[in-house]
Amino acid sequence: MRMHTHVFKSTIPVLLGIFISLSFASISAMPLYAAETPDRIPLTHPKYQALIKELTEKHKFTMDELEAVFKQVVFKKDIIDKFNRPAEHLPFYRYRKIFIKKDMIEKGRAYLAEHDKLLSEVEAEYGVEKEIIASILGVETRFGKPGIEKYRAFDVLNTAFFLYPRREKFYRGEIIAFLKLTRKEGLDPFSINSSYAGAFGVPQFIPTSFLNYAVDFDKDGKVDLWKSKKDIFASVANYLKKFGWKKGELLYLPSQIYKDSPELQKMLNRGYRKTVPVTKAIQMGVEIPYPAKGNDEVSFAYFEPNPDEKELLGLFGNFRAITRYNTSVHYALVIVHLSRRLIM
């Protein structure tokens, strides 16, 4: 059994380039970049020693299995800059233009027409409107366009885990989930390509989402998010349903502040995941139009429809379900806007 052996000396400054400090403090304080890290996984590093211990003891992988797969990983250091500059951070009026355009709408309408029977079947089973399913697939991978996924998924997960301290805990869990799902589905870990964030398949599921929400809707004994339209459509619908999607219910409503107060500002600062009943929000000073009902749970977020304006939105359960797919309010708005144009 041969281990990868890269020597690390905590007394050598990080800026020397070919060695990395074993100090946890230096690792967690800032991202590590190309000259400061090895190209391949240092299995002797404490982070990997702890990970391997969990994988062998809790999840029953063997050392031989883990060494065989981890020694093939190549760090993709260019993704770190992409983590820090996601498109969703663009102002909405710019982000929207990436997706809400003539060719996307035309492709989306053709996609809906081509798969109407199956999408209608999935909609009936899960209660998620077919145009929402199609819009998510359009935004994620241009309705399954080849070539979107440019990285090996396992390379991405390990790069983010080792080189991006802010998401270390998250990607540690995704590495474990990825190895579990490839074992369960009988897949070669290096046969799966992904986005720079480690999402894969036509619906762009991360490994934990695959394990928790992907479904074998075609009943062939495996989950295929690359070629099986049944599995793809049903998995997206199941994901949204698990996060509270209810067919035909509110997504969002434009709202206005008619009475400012510390209580209102506190509510607005809590983030869109924190909800209050509509009646309570009105009492705090927010005007929310019909058809919102008093007992509906609402949260709030600002967005910029154009360079000169900033508007407040009241967000309801179905909208928040989309933000579980991608945490950006801009992303969810684009899904809603595109879905409406697909059926106009």
Q: Which amino acid is at 25?
A: A
Q: Is residue 196 part of a domain?
A: no
Q: Is residue 283 part of a domain?
A: yes
Q: Is residue 258 part of a domain?
A: yes
Last residue of a domain, one of 39, 72, 105: 72
The SS3 call for residue 110 is: helix
DSSP state of 30: S
Q: Is residue 123 part of a domain?
A: no
Distance, in Å, from the CA atom of 219 to the CA atom of 161, rounded to the nearest integer, reads 34
> How many distinct structural domains can be found in the chain?
2
| Predicted confidence (pLDDT) per residue in 60-74, tens digit | 999 999 999 999 999
Find, among 40, 67, 37, 39, the residue nearest to 52 by Cα: 67
Backbone CA torsion sign across 61, 64, 66, 68: negative
Give me the phi and psi of 343, to 5 degrees please.
-115, 5
In this prediction the pTM is 0.87
Question: b/e for 19-41, b at 16 or more Cβ within 10 A?
Answer: bbbbeeebbeeebbeeebbeeeb
Q: Is residue 213 part of a domain?
A: no
| Predicted confidence (pLDDT) per residue in 33-50, tens digit | 444 567 889 999 999 999
CA torsion 11-13-17-22 (nearest 10°) is 50
Q: Is residue 80 part of a domain?
A: no
Distance, in Å, from the CA atom of 264 to the CA atom of 266, rounded to the nearest integer, reads 5
Residues in the chain: 344
Distance, in Å, from the CA atom of 196 to the CA atom of 150, rounded to the nearest integer, reads 8
In which domain, by residue range, is 310 found? 252-315
- Cβ atoms of 4 and 41 within 8 Å: the answer is yes
* Segment 163-172 mean pLDDT: 96
Per-position DSSP letters for 236-291, written without gaps between them: HHHHHHHTT--TT---EEEEEESS--HHHHHHHHT-TTS-EEHHHHHHHTEE--TT
Output the average pLDDT for the chain.
89
Helices 102-114 and 116-126: crossing angle in degrees, nearest 10, is 80
Q: Is residue 143 part of a domain?
A: no
Distance, in Å, from the CA atom of 19 to the CA atom of 37, rounded to the nearest integer, reads 7
Last residue of a domain, one of 72, 104, 125: 72
| Predicted confidence (pLDDT) per residue in 174-221, tens digit | 999 999 999 999 999 999 999 999 999 999 999 999 999 999 999 999
Q: Is 93 exposed, middle or buried (0-12, 13-18, 19+ CB in 10 A)?
A: middle
Of the given ranges (7-11, 179-183, 325-329), which has the lowest mean pLDDT?
7-11
Higher pLDDT, 167 or 3: 167
Distance, in Å, from the CA atom of 99 to the CA atom of 337, rounded to the nearest integer, reads 10
pLDDT for the residue numbered 36? 59
Q: Is residue 222 part of a domain?
A: no
Beta bridge partners of residue 287, listed in sequence order: 256
Half-sphere exposure of 198 (CA within 13 A, CB side): 28
Beta bridge partners of residue 254, listed in sequence order: 313
Half-sphere exposure of 173 (CA within 13 A, CB side): 8
* Segment 259-271 mean pLDDT: 91
Beta bridge partners of residue 298, listed in sequence order: 276
Higher pLDDT, 63 or 32: 63
